[in-house]
Amino acid sequence: MNFSKALINWYHTHHRDLPWRHTTAAYNIWLSEIMLQQTQVIKVLDYYRNFLEKYPTVHDLSRASEDEVLKMWQGLGYYSRARNLHKTAQTVSENNGEFPDTYKELKKLKGIGDYTAAAISSFAFGEAQAVLDGNVYRVLARYLGIDLPINSTEGVKLFKEKAKQLLDKDRPADHNQAIMEFGALHCKPKKPKCDSCPLQIDCVAYQQNKVNELPVKLKKVKVRKRYLNYVILQDQKEHFLLQKRTEKDIWQNMFEFPLYESQNNLNQATTQSFNLTLPTENLIRLTDQPIKHQLTHQSLFVHFWKLDLSESFKTYPNLLEDYEVVTKEELLDYAVPVLIANYIQKHFFKG
């Protein structure tokens, strides 16, 4: 049985109708592939449409500010993707808006790794490059019976070789779309549809009853716990303070309320805890229980605190050097982490 032909035949019958599959425009494909990294298709659809509506060309995206792009990306997560997206848009725009048409040259762009370069080069330019994402690893591991960990050095090397060998070099775009879609819809992590699988006869894992054992993956990195405390300061003019996260950490270049990261869950805090030059009376904690927010390798436990000042922030000039003073309505204009955006929406704009 021809592996690629069987997958492509399956794909033509069962594939999902997704907007980025109706184009060979490198810009559209690049945009979708960056958004789809570590994110489910259903969540990407609206973001993809909204980005294309606001930034129909790479030149439009390049002219936007980073803050605007982060705001548009808000809620999609893994914000380094948005920062790299913006930088790459500027690079491509300077090249007359033309994306490189080869895997090798695409990889030189910010935020484009092996998988994304292979996807863009094959979908947009028909280059014979095999993609390797989680779905592809799973299909190949089961079909070929490979028990090397997919995230080990040896495993990655072997899977790259096998993916390249099985690629239909005359129809790389169809092949790549097919194998990824097959892994997403048919050869799923749990409850794969083996009874109706077109690869069943030659599938080593099925023949050896090892479907649920493959692929093999090395244990994940230990999840780190962090305790974040945000204080919502409001002065007599109903203004608030925001600061920009400039360090290389989660949510880089996004905005947030004044922050104190503690070693554990806090029951009491003062303005001194937040290193603020303000009256030192105790703050009111607004959250009874911490809000848990899960990232890939971090579990965040977040409390919100509050302090209303009887004077203007202008009374404390040192604050104006470190923070931006904004109105309640302006809070909606800033790119903030989604957990803060949700809190603002829920508690500031209930009606």
- pLDDT tens readout for residues 87-133: 999 999 999 999 999 999 999 999 999 999 999 999 999 999 999 99
Tell whether the model's pLDDT for residue 280 goes beyond 80.
no
Mean pLDDT for the chain overall: 95
pLDDT value of residue 350: 72
Does domain 3-213 bear CATH number 3.40.47.10? no
How is 127-161 classified by DSSP, letter by letter? Answer: -------HHHHHHHHHHHT--S-TTSHHHHHHHHH
Task: Please tell me which residue, 187 or 282, carries the higher pLDDT value.
Answer: 187
Rounded to the nearest 10 degrees, what angle do helices 26-36 and 41-54 cross at? Answer: 140
pLDDT at 220: 76
CATH architecture of 224-348: Alpha-Beta Complex (3.90)
Asked whether the whole model's pTM tops 0.85, one would answer yes
Cβ-in-10-Å burial (0-12, 13-18, 19+) of 232 comes to buried
Q: Which active-site residues does the annotation give?
A: 33
Domain-wise residue ranges, the chain: 3-213, 224-348
Instruction: Examine the pLDDT at 1 and tell me if it is beyond 80.
Output: no
> Measured in whole angstroms, how far is the alpha carbon of residue 266 from the centre of its chain?
30
pLDDT the model gives residue 351: 56
